[in-house]
Structure 1
Amino acid sequence: MGLGLSVPGIMLLLIGRPELLAYAVFGSVVGMYGRNPHRLLRLKNQALGAAMMLCAGVCGIMLAPFGLHGWPLLAGGMFWAAFSSVIADRYGLKPGGAFFPLFAFGALGTLPVGERPAVDGLVAFVATALFSILLGQLARFGPAKEHGVETIAFPWPNVLRRAGTYLVVVFLAGAIGIGLQVEHLQWTMAGAAVPLAAGNARGRLRRGTHRIAGTLAGIGVLLGIYYLGPSEVFLGCLIILLMFPTEAYMVRNYGLALSFFTPLVILMLQLANPSVGAQMMWDCAMGNLLGVVVGIAAAAVFDRRPRTQYASGTVG
């Protein structure tokens, strides 16, 4: 995962295009789907993960010139949340859930790109995703039990039930966010999707709590970074380095992983859009808090029916 970002990331820094790191970061997420020790299964999982990420991300990139916000942004987020949930659950992908495709659509779709789609960003996004698949095929892992990579494909009733829950929860969180005029609505939608990756009420509460605590800790790290007044090149290198602990702890300690992932995401978005100031940190925190609270409450109401426990090891 780290190599999947560091190689294209360093190339972007060398050619003086650090603003494209946001696209490369989402492309490198494809590496997270390569946990299976068997190469063919790893290729299948990464191909499916890449399909989700590329479809959602490319859709966001192509719609970015229209200035996605409000209800159109929410409608797109609802679609990609439900679609990604169906693919992840039906094929037992890890990481499960819809967070990454949903966030890729929202983040890349709201970047200021002018009147035309960012073709250079699209190239960086697709190239990084394909490079991550290549790395996945070159890597050699130990026994499956050492990595917790057992995949479970869920029956269609469970798959469709959780996809419907994603639709309802993301809609409610987004509608409330629009009503409250929350900036950066993509953070609210992503926050709402986080608890649904767990299979029961206790798991959702724990995951939501980790999300909030990790985000706040990440903002603390970010404040320390801002205090140093780093250059764009330094920020680019820092984004690449932050991907290593993010992936290392994502399955083992979700809250700790987010303390690295939060500054990574905010820094990459600031490189892509320098006009975004420190206010984004608080918008991120408030948007996450609103989304997580709505996600936990709405899922408890609309998804009460007993079902098979969803696999752990999800992210987002």
Structure 2
Amino acid sequence: MANWQLFLIAHIPEIRPALRVGLGLAVPGAALLVVGRTDLLVYAVFGSVVGMYGRDPRRLQRFKNQVHGAIMMLCAGICGIMLAPFGLHGWSLLAGGMLWAAFSSVVADRHGLKPGGAFFPLFAFCALGTLPVGEHPAVDGLATFVVTALVSILLGQAAKFGPSTERGVETIAFPWPNVLRRAGTYLAVVLVAGTVGITLQVEHLQWIMVGAVVPLAAGSARGRLKRGAHRIAGTLVGMGVLLGIYYLQPSELMLGFVILALIFPTEAYMVRNYGLALSFFTPVIILMLQLANPMLGDQVMWDCAIGNLLGVILGIAAAAVFERRPRTQYASGAVG
């Protein structure tokens, strides 16, 4: 048997959901590229995250997981979209981030969602809430966001079910005391990280807040250090990938295709190798934000790197203070 065939067999559990997530972005994303609206890709990318919750091989359970994932993503993202005209920054951005981090943690833990934690909903709120949209909410962006999420759910249900070689993800509904304690940790960690960022007058506060919640996915101090190290390493490697893309000086249209292409390996390695997944996701993050707001410039790369580094350090330190009990039952398959 050829090496590529062995590779595919070994990675089938990751390739199939990755294809669904990739298609969930490729379908609406290609439509946006055709009509020349690359600025809306940022909304499509966050909508396609709903596809990441569709790993369970059981039809009904996958549908439930994706609906709960969609609730988290849509609530946080739509809130950010509606508040964007008011120019979220500083304490207002921090207050919203704390709310959605805690809410998403409750939903994810109570329903045993994988990927777990509050990383994606929090990032959706922060990113979409800080885009310069003028005096009115971006209705076209909101429509793109919602439609992409619905397409992702439909693709999840369109897959072949029944006897399957696809590895399922165990779903465990955690008891309310554990759920609330974990949500409280998210609330406290985001508060600490955001307060430090505001005190230091960090321009892009969202990077610190998002970076701070990443280590919380692990269930022990060692696990948090490992996940934080993966976050930093993946971000730095992603910066190298991004510099290579910049060197080629692609057009906006080509950048759009690059974003569509990088979503596939991001999902394929999100569970297997978090650091490697981030080396693909980091360029996606920065490219889609720059297409939505060309005024960001190259400085956003360094803001992302520094913010993630500071956020991860603060997240690990704050978690050690606010949550001393190990949480090994939460560690499997989570991302932030």
> What range describes the TM-score normalised by the shorter chain of this pair?
over 0.9
The one of 291, 311, 335 aligned to 1:291: 311
**3-state secondary structure, aligned to 1:153:** coil
Q: More deviation in 306-315 or 73-82?
A: 306-315
The residue type paired with residue 46 of structure 2 is: F
After superposition, the CA RMSD in angstroms is 1.2
Matched, 1:300 2:320: yes
Residue 312 of structure 1 deviates from its aligned partner by 1.1
Q: Which residue matches 1:38?
A: 58
Residue 305 of structure 1 deviates from its aligned partner by 2.5
CA contact (8 A) 1:200 1:309 kept: no
Q: Which residue matches 1:155?
A: 175
Alignment of 1:208-247 (within 5 A): 208-247=228-267
CA–CA distance in structure 1, aligned partners of residues 261 and 28 of structure 2: 13
Q: 1:260 to 1:157 in 2, by over 3 A?
A: same
Residue 307 of structure 1 deviates from its aligned partner by 4.7
Q: 1:92 to 1:226 in 2, by over 3 A?
A: same
CA–CA distance in structure 2, aligned partners of residues 52 and 227 of structure 1: 37
CA contact (8 A) 2:58 2:162 kept: no
CA contact (8 A) 2:189 2:318 kept: yes
**3-state secondary structure, aligned to 2:296:** coil
Matched, 1:183 2:203: yes
CA contact (8 A) 2:119 2:210 kept: yes
CA–CA distance in structure 2, aligned partners of residues 314 and 11 of structure 1: 31
CA–CA distance in structure 1, aligned partners of residues 328 and 175 of structure 2: 9
Residue 301 of structure 1 deviates from its aligned partner by 1.1
CA–CA distance in structure 2, aligned partners of residues 136 and 74 of structure 1: 33
CA–CA distance in structure 2, aligned partners of residues 139 and 156 of structure 1: 33
Matched, 1:69 2:89: yes
The one of 261, 275, 278 aligned to 1:255: 275
The residue type paired with residue 250 of structure 2 is: P
Alignment of 1:69-108 (within 5 A): 69-108=89-128
Residue 141 of structure 1 deviates from its aligned partner by 5.6
CA–CA distance in structure 1, aligned partners of residues 327 and 274 of structure 2: 24
Q: 1:144 to 1:308 in 2, by over 3 A?
A: farther
Residue 311 of structure 1 deviates from its aligned partner by 3.9
Residue 156 of structure 1 deviates from its aligned partner by 0.9
Q: Which residue matches 2:22?
A: 2
Q: Which residue matches 1:312?
A: 332
- Any unmatched runs of 5+ in structure 1? none
CA–CA distance in structure 2, aligned partners of residues 170 and 112 of structure 1: 23
CA–CA distance in structure 2, aligned partners of residues 211 and 147 of structure 1: 25
Identical positions, percent: 79
Matched, 1:137 2:157: yes
Provide, for residues 121-168 of structure 1, a one-character-per-residue CA deviation record: whole Å limited to 9, x for no partner: 000000000000000000126868852511111111111111000011
CA contact (8 A) 1:152 1:311 kept: no
Q: Which residue matches 1:205?
A: 225
CA–CA distance in structure 2, aligned partners of residues 187 and 306 of structure 1: 26
The residue type paired with residue 140 of structure 1 is: K
CA–CA distance in structure 2, aligned partners of residues 294 and 145 of structure 1: 41
CA contact (8 A) 1:23 1:108 kept: yes
The one of 249, 272, 295 aligned to 2:292: 272
Q: 1:296 to 1:65 in 2, by over 3 A?
A: same
**3-state secondary structure, aligned to 1:225:** helix
CA–CA distance in structure 2, aligned partners of residues 266 and 147 of structure 1: 32
TM-score, structure 1 as length reference: 0.98
Residue 256 of structure 1 deviates from its aligned partner by 0.3
CA contact (8 A) 1:192 1:291 kept: yes
CA contact (8 A) 2:76 2:121 kept: yes
